[in-house]
Structure 1
């Protein structure tokens, strides 16, 4: 008999899969369509009867190219719809066991991704960790990040995530979970989101543990005025005088506008983002500041070579020169020539390698280490670096952005088409994945994933694992 759960919105019937009860496509907020487009998430009206939870709901609208990224592969596939605010749940049992709850927030440059992607299925964590696992969908790109469309309704993507977390807290017990033992886990934009939720007025009290993987905590956030100007720019690209012209645009055209913004922002040296979050009443501080709060138990880390992701396979950097890279460094360093030389002394005079390494440090590693420093001696803190080099692209990727994901989820078979895993020893992938996966599970269960817990040491995940002093990793 298929499992049935009674939620705050109504009754939902799931399916049994390999010993787990699985519920897909459960709405947590009202469909953000019509008058609710570009408004913060509103309560779902609920439903009568028994809702079928066997199939995923649509993913958020996003640019789509079959095959996806040349490095990571596909990261979100049709069907897409504006009515996308749903969660998916994996649980070992609908009972009163009060299992810890693990909530996954996907990344994707605030533009792509989905909680429905097979990569991110919650079955491994639910089965191996005796956890209730929830993945969420939230509005992306022009649908979630345009600023100034409706007064008082900024950061609607964050309102979605907060509404999902509220739903999870209210309904965890119905799926055999403990609403007072929620851990958030997110990577890249999803990790950044955790820092936003940690200061959200209603979401912050609902979780006390977080796993933050490769969050771009070095992002410079726009002012409200700058974000509004960006919205007007997209309107201009779609032929409108200003943002008011976007109100009646179709979803297809808004995706086209997102693509146009991506092309417009594809400057030399930049990690290409069409839109970014903005400081407001929901997110009054930069997420890195919220993650420094010792009241939040934190497992935080990065990959050794985050910055190869946008540059290693892009042919425009084949002919990049030291002058090109130094000119780019002028945008964020007082002495760009000195910065270039400092990296070149270690890496050789390879402009692409220098650009990639500086990107790794500027966006990811340096701000994460600053969080560790600010938390030093306060709170429970674990830090890691994923350092296993990819074999693909003749080794040019190193331990690139996103490469740790098949290991933390311990499901490499679901990543079989991902280019960056090609050529790695399957036994190494399995064994390292097992170590990382069970370390994450230990943290969720309030156990030690590894011996140290003060942020002064960093666990290195490579062909072997080893603890090192954080200062030994400084560049």
Structure 2
């Protein structure tokens, strides 16, 4: 079965997809939302895609953005990689005039990895269960999406990934009615660096969506102009850019690999930056000092975000001195590192777990809480959560990325993240039901009203908590760079 949608650029033919969705949905893959950012358009803002005659097949995912991934993995997943990557994917219960709520999802990956066609992000189950339209997309990554070099590439060349995302959101606003979606009911959601991007878009005043969901965002990672300039200087001093002419993709990726991404504290050399154009101040500063777009926000983190990253380290690394040094690096000179370690050790049986919990709070939980606290303080609806559902893999707990399988209902895609048994599927349905309430415009649980306010704990026992971990979060208050 196929269906045809008529956009401003031409007609598209999608195909039915019933796998695991409880009924057919129609999926449109590889839909161009912008012209190829190649040649003279490489360092330029996205431009409208060219139109086409006849009916264009939308049955193949578009090329993913250039990133470090082996040819073998690409082939195994049936994917290609190219700079010509500005496409999106749409799952809809039907191509009709029902005007369903729309969920646009921005993938994570540290702004250097990922794509909207990942199995975890398959929108079939979510679209069918919620009777909504689900959209995922690709956008420029790494150097090609974030290089801060306005002196070299001119005005409009900065924060290209954010410009791509903004352009895609405009495309959705303009065209989603052709796919059974409601252009006046768009929720943008993002996980990890996708959530960072949403915070940056909000800080820049983007009004192309009506509600926002921020999942596991390291919101402190938006870079100062100086930090972005320093990364650009390193990139532009490599042979890829100094030998003359425009470098090819492999040369750019090689230059990108030479940048130290840091570990603890986490660094984000390819995240959005304060460019004075797309964004003029850090999202945490904007939220605190002036109005963001007055839309409802659902935001939160997993309980044990950082454990999956620490799992790569040997056990003998986590000595008392190592954990103390980590606490000092994170908390800064104004805090007693011994007291910070003691506080986290009181809640965690091992040094590894305590060390991971500190980074979880510093990088994910505390900046998210500060961002939404300020938004709620201006009278906006905020719904805060902590996902406590543990990975079945020993030692990971409720780790980073585990929310994806639950939200999209694809617990079978990567079972190690959230499990793939009856209990995991029930947890997924519970999470989906709350996300879908929010997407439909309802209030999924009690509003968060400031420090210590209502937080939904999502796990084997789901309940609202107040005063949840306020002592730990207070350690990181004011710790982030003042980018004013």
Shared fold by TM > 0.5? yes
Report the CA distance between 1:132 and its aligned residue: 1.2
* 1:27 to 2:32 alignment: yes
Mapped contact 1:295–1:379 kept (Cα < 8 A): yes
Q: Say whether the 8 Å CA contact 1:99–1:178 is kept in structure 2.
A: yes
**CA deviation profile, 1:54-96 (whole Å, cap 9, x unmatched):** 111101111115899xxxxx99884111000001111112221
Change (3 A) 1:445 1:220: closer
8 Å Cα contact 1:235-1:246 kept in structure 2 = no
Q: What secondary structure does 2:190 align onto?
A: strand
| Counterpart-to-counterpart distance in 2, 1:405 and 1:221 | 26
2:281 pairs with 270, 285, 288, which one?
A: 285
Deviation, 1:308, is: 1.2
1:357 aligns with 2:352: no
Q: CA deviation at 1:258?
A: 2.2
**Pairs within 5 Å for 1:51-62:** 51-62=56-67
Q: CA deviation at 1:210?
A: 0.7
Pick aligned residue for 1:460 from 457, 460, 478: 457
Contact kept, 8 Å, 1:138 with 1:160, in 2: the verdict is yes
Contact 1:92 1:130 in 2 (8 A): yes
CA distance in 2 between partners of 1:67 and 1:366 (Å): 39
How far the C-alpha of 1:348 sits from its partner, in A, is 5.1
**Could you tell me which residue of structure 2 aligns to residue 71 of structure 1?**
none
| Aligned 1:28-67 pairs, distance under 5 A | 28-65=33-70
Q: Distance in 2 between matches of 1:413 and 1:93?
A: 25
Distance across 1 between alignment mates of 2:204 and 2:76: 27
Aligned match of 1:413: 412
**Equivalent residue of 1:14, what SS?**
strand
Alignment check: 8 A CA contact 2:297 2:372 kept: no
Q: Which residue pairs with 2:320 in the alignment?
A: 322
Contact 2:390 2:396 in 1 (8 A): yes
Is the CA contact (8 Å cut-off) linking 2:147 and 2:228 kept in structure 1? yes
Equivalent in the alignment of 1:178: 182
1:190-210 deviation line (CA, Å, top 9, x unaligned): 111111222445xx2221201
Distance (Å, rounded) in 2 between the aligned partners of 1:105 and 1:143: 17
Q: Secondary structure at the match of 2:299?
A: strand
Question: 1:44-443 maps to which residues of 2 (within 5 A)?
Answer: 44-65=49-70, 78-148=79-149, 149-152=152-155, 153-200=157-204, 204-219=206-221, 221-223=223-225, 225-236=226-237, 238-239=238-239, 243=241, 245=243, 248-261=246-259, 264-267=260-263, 269-271=264-266, 273-280=268-275, 281-289=277-285, 293=292, 295-315=294-314, 318-332=316-330, 333-334=332-333, 335=335, 336-347=337-348, 350=351, 352-376=352-376, 378-392=379-393, 394=394, 396-416=395-415, 419-421=416-418, 424=419, 426-443=421-438
Q: Quote how far apart the aligned CAs of 1:115 are.
A: 0.5
- The answer to whether the 8 A contact 1:75-1:114 is kept is no
Alpha-carbon distance between aligned partners in 2 of 1:253 and 1:279, rounded to the nearest angstrom: 26
In 1, distance between residues paired with 2:244 and 2:167?
25
> Whole-Å Cα distance in 2 between the matches of residues 294 and 217 of structure 1?
17
1:245 deviation in Å? Answer: 4.8
Q: Which runs of 5+ in 1 are unaligned?
A: 69-73
Distance in 2 separating the partners of 1:145 and 1:183: 24
**Aligned positions, number:** 453
Q: TM-score under structure 1 normalisation?
A: 0.88
Quickly say closer, same or farther: Cα 1:200–1:319, change in 2 above 3 A: closer
Distance 1:284 1:76 in 2: 39
Q: For residue 219 of structure 1, report the CA deviation from its aligned partner.
A: 2.2
What is the alpha-carbon distance in structure 2 between the residues aligned to residue 340 and residue 311 of structure 1? 17
Q: Distance in 2 between matches of 1:414 and 1:87?
A: 20
Query: Over residues 435-472 of structure 1, what are the superposed CA-to-partner deviations in whole Å (9 max), with x where a residue is unaligned?
Result: 00111011111122224464621111111211111445
When residues 427 and 104 of structure 1 are mapped into structure 2, their CA distance, relative to the original with a 3 A threshold, is: same
Stretches of structure 2 that go unaligned for 5 or more consecutive residues are: 19-23, 473-484
Distance in structure 1 (CA, Å) of the matches to 2:119 and 2:81: 16
- C-alpha separation between the residues in 1 aligned to 2:448 and 2:106? 24
CA 1:76–1:371: 2 relative to 1, 3 Å: farther
Q: Distance in 2 between matches of 1:246 and 1:123?
A: 47
TM-fit CA distance, 1:146: 1.5
> Could you give the per-residue CA deviations for residues 164-202 of structure 1, whole angstroms, max 9, x where no partner exists?
00100000111111111100011111111111222445x
Return the alpha-carbon distance in structure 1 between the equivalents of residues 76 and 106 of structure 2. 14
Cα displacement (A) at 1:290? 5.5
